[in-house]
Amino acid sequence: MDEYTDFQQQKNKAPEKPWHRRAAKSGQAKRQVMVANRYKGRYTGENDFKYSGELNNKIESIRNGSSAYQVLSDIDIKHILDNYSTKELPKNKPKRIFAGVIVFWDNNKDTYILKRDE
């Protein structure tokens, strides 16, 4: 999924005739899909499909288990507040944004940390 992130975050319009979907001269290679849908993104609920460029990499790495914790930037915090059912992130206690993941304030690093909740 990481290898497509840079391409999808550009938010450019898709080309009308990409090089990998050109028809062969015999006409048998029309509309070949080079990447399966499961690598392009994931369903976020109620048949709402989001491409990996629209998802937050730090949250997705915690979700799929490739990372135990992540340091959040201001952009990540804005993404959490906009897309999850939390209105604020208090500094005095951890906040669960969804099952298995919490956000808490770290005084030593002076920033929010995203962590798996075992």
pLDDT tens for 15-43 read 666 666 555 555 555 566 677 776 777 77
Summarize pLDDT for 92-112 with one digit per residue, the tens: 999 998 888 999 999 999 999
Instruction: Using CA atoms of 9, 104, 88, 74 in order, give the dihedral in degrees to the nearest 10.
Output: -40
pTM: 0.62
- The reported pLDDT for the residue numbered 57 is 85
Q: Which residues contact 47 (CB under 8 A, 6 or more apart)?
A: none
